Amino acid sequence: MKFDQPATINPIDRARVVGQPIDRIDGPAKVCGTAPYAYERHDAAPNAAYGWMVGSAIAKGTINSIDTRAAEAAPGVLAVVTHANAGDLGKGRMNTATLLGGPSIEHHDQALALVVAETLEQARDAAKLVVIDYATGEGRFDLAAAMRGATAPKDVQGSPADTRTGDFDGAFAKAAVKIDQRYTTPDHSHAMMEPHATTAAWTGDKLTLWSSNQMIAWSVGEIARTLKIKPDNVQVIAPYVGGGFGAKLFVRADALLAALGARAAGRPVKVALARAQIPNNTTHRPATIQRIRLGAKKDGTIEAIGHEVWSGDLPGGGVEVAALQTRQLYAGKHRMTKHRLAVLDLPEGNAMRAPGEAVGLLALEVAMDELAEACDVDPVELRIKNDVQYDPEVGPSKPFSSRKLVECLREGATRFGWDKRNPKPGQVRDGQYLVGMGVASAFRGNIVMKSGARVAIDGKGRITVSSDMTDIGTGSYTIIAQTAAEMLGVEASDITVRLGDSSFPASAGSGGQWGANSATAGVYAACMAMRSQLAQKAGLNAEDALFEDGMIKAAGKAIPLREAAGRDGLSVEDSISFGDLTDRYAQATFGAHFAEVGVDVYTGEVRVRRMGGAFAAGRILNPKTARSQVIGAMTMGVGAALMEELVVDTRFGYFVNHDMAEYHVPVHADIPEQDVLFIDELDDKSSPMKAKGVGELGLCGAGAAIANAIYNATGVRLRDYPLTLNKVIAGMAKA
């Protein structure tokens, strides 16, 4: 099915099942412990051996020699794999770093060896016996020091690295009110609950990987390229994934090492990266330095808006696209954005938790707060004043498919009690806490991707949907069941959903907020094909047929689905692809974040008292699972604002705080009341589902609302994240 015209009224619009707050159908399996995760596939790969990764102790250089003799002689050891005996390996297209290093070393803790043994303890202990002699090279580990040598990348997510509209420099110079500030965000770690983990088994020349991965089809291709085998000889299975946040978009060292270890040991091998190995061995969100300039009239109308971003990555890597939202979020005739990439020898920087907008809005939305104060305009009203219903870089010829930012700001403000905010900083006190409120806009682009599914109905009327779509804790099983139930006129409980297997039709996968909308649209396409087949077998016209109560109803007839399917049942497969609507219309999701904080007057400690948000993201497929995604994202916003930071040792090029004891993320005690409001919206230009993604939208802007609330509470403006108590108390001492 090709989606190249705005959606008209279709079966999803009945909203009998879709749009309802149905409990997650995978919940019981997870609660009861029967949901199989990658490291636990004893059923499919019995008698698996254990692998332990040996990572590089240096960040840059070469290997003079690796001595594995002591490790190979250790009790229980079955094999030791290094670059010297791994065979001829290629490199995938989606990883910047080589997954198995040697003889050259690209970053600290790059995988250099895998020790395979009968038990985990034996593998771990023997790994300590691997002796590596290094020749250390000079590395670059400091973004600020590397800024001058930064260059413009070829593109950013398919768009130009730099954009310019009008005369930014001239307009900014003449502006009545100017904001020109520098903001920084640190390196971040994904910190998902389930570590990178894979169980691998070979049957002849065919490889099966049970792997914790967000994108099944991508992973098949990457493993095939790396091992130089045919994609048809690779099967990747991931029915349940315990979080990924972008870290598992691409195969990582665990998958390759498990495959190599299983081949060397001649039996299944499982590999899980230890928590302390993840930050330096896998990917992370790179640090940014951002300069934002806003030039406005005295009433707050923006005339010039400029956003420049510097970030770093390994040679051949990509930039953090933190100025993307600035291209579309606010009006302003004169505009400029720039992205610059510095070469650093730190571990790979890549996609993490709403890449781009998540950190870009940490800067832009604080700058907007500063502009509101400079113009003496309420921060909510400033954002409304600068709303624009078309892509401001292109003009009215490219309107937004749907844009309800103003509604989010107005309804969110009313619901949060924004009118009770004292606009003068440092005036509200509750005991030992200074109390303040902050607001920030939320923005995340709407991405759609080709996605397919197989729908089958048996002779008893049971319907099964199969797709390689993954569920990373977001509710994919449930919304896919809801979609099929709506389309075929049955209950969600009548649907069996099978996900996360490369033998199923390829889907969009989970990532970038594109999964739910794209994957359910693929199920929609397959169900439309099934409706046609069932109606034809029943002798009815599919266009006139009504599917409800488990029957096909048309021409005065009501035929049960099982009868139409026949004894042998039916199976159909289809996919949805997308035309040029994304070129003709700007597509994005919008929202408004509100936060109230208390700042301890003695210690500078910040406590989030409550958070609220209003979001417009097309049809909400399941309000219960969508709310769960949004509050989780808001929680990540608290982490980005107040505590998350990978600390770089710029002498040796590694992240010092590489475990959960020292890399701090929010816990239950940090998160009080969270209120979520979904604004009614159908986007007929997004997909036949008229939906858009929502999960990452809940993160974008949340941290900035907290930063702005801290300023309202204390009068201390902080621009370097995280906003830790030492920075707060230092600012309060100067105030």
Question: What is the rounded distance in angstroms from the CA atom of residue 418 to the CA atom of residue 369?
Answer: 15
Tokens of 448: 């759609």
Cβ-in-10-Å burial (0-12, 13-18, 19+) of 670 comes to middle
First to last CA, the chain: 62
The answer as to CATH 3.30.365.10 being correct for domain 2-33+448-582 is yes
DSSP conformation class of 150: -
**Which residues have CB under 8 Å from 579's CB, separation 6+?**
2, 3, 4, 5
**DSSP H helical segments within 1-91, as ranges?**
27-32, 69-73
Question: Which string of b and e fits 576-601 if b means at least 16 CB within 10 Å?
Answer: bbbeebbeebbbbbbbbbbbbbbbbb
Q: Is the pTM of the predicted complex or chain greater than 0.95?
A: yes
Q: Which CATH class is domain 356-446+587-735?
A: alpha beta
Burial class, 173, CB count within 10 angstroms (exposed 0-12 / middle 13-18 / buried 19+): exposed
735, pLDDT greater than 90 = no
- pLDDT digit string, tens, across residues 218-268: 999 999 999 999 999 999 999 999 999 999 999 999 999 999 999 999 999
pLDDT digits 0-9 by tens, 656-703: 999 999 999 999 999 999 999 999 999 999 999 999 999 999 999 999
CATH 3.30.365.10 domain position(s) in the chain = 2-33+448-582, 38-138+196-277, 356-446+587-735
Q: Is the pLDDT of residue 117 over 90?
A: yes
| Angle CA 256–282–286, to nearest 5 | 150
Cβ–Cβ under 8 Å, residues 595 and 611? yes
Residue 583 pLDDT more than 90? yes
141-183 confidence digits (pLDDT tens): 999 999 999 999 999 989 999 999 999 999 999 999 999 999 9
The CATH fold assigned to 38-138+196-277 is Aldehyde Oxidoreductase; domain 4 (3.30.365)
3-state secondary structure of 202: strand
Distance CA 73, CA 242 (A): 36
Dump pLDDT digits (tens) for 635-664.
999 999 999 999 999 999 999 999 999 999
Catalytic amino acids?
696
Single out the residue of 282, 91, 92 nearest to residue 197, CA to CA.
282
pLDDT tens for each residue of 363-401? 999 999 999 999 999 999 999 999 999 999 999 999 999
Q: Strand 269-272 vs strand 234-237: parallel, antiparallel, or unpaired? A: unpaired
Per-residue model confidence as pLDDT tens digits over 528-537: 999 999 999 9
> Average pLDDT of 176-198?
98
Split at pLDDT 50, 70, 90, the class of 614 is very high
Q: Tell me the chain's radius of gyration from C-alpha atoms.
A: 27
DSSP string, 373-416: HHHT--HHHHHHHT--SB-TTT-TTSBBS---HHHHHHHHHHHH
Task: Give the pair of three-digit tokens for residue 531.
Answer: 């409706």
pLDDT band of residue 278 (cuts 50, 70, 90) is very high
What distance in Å separates the CA atoms of residue 197 and residue 209, rounded to the nearest whole number? 10
Stretch 596-608: mean pLDDT: 98
Q: Report the distance separating Cα 446 and Cα 587, nearest Å.
A: 5
Residue 215 has pLDDT above 90, yes or no: yes
Q: What average pLDDT does the structure give for the chain?
A: 97
Pairing of strands 654-655, 648-649: antiparallel
pLDDT of 173: 98
Which residues does residue 177 pair with via DSSP β-bridges, in sequence order? 296
Cis preceding-peptide flag for 239 (omega within 30 of 0): no
594 Cβ contact partners less than 8 Å away, ≥ 6 residues apart: 412, 413, 416, 418, 437, 438, 439, 611, 612, 613, 705
6-23: pLDDT as tens digits = 999 999 999 999 999 999
User: And the tokens for 381?
Assistant: 């009203």
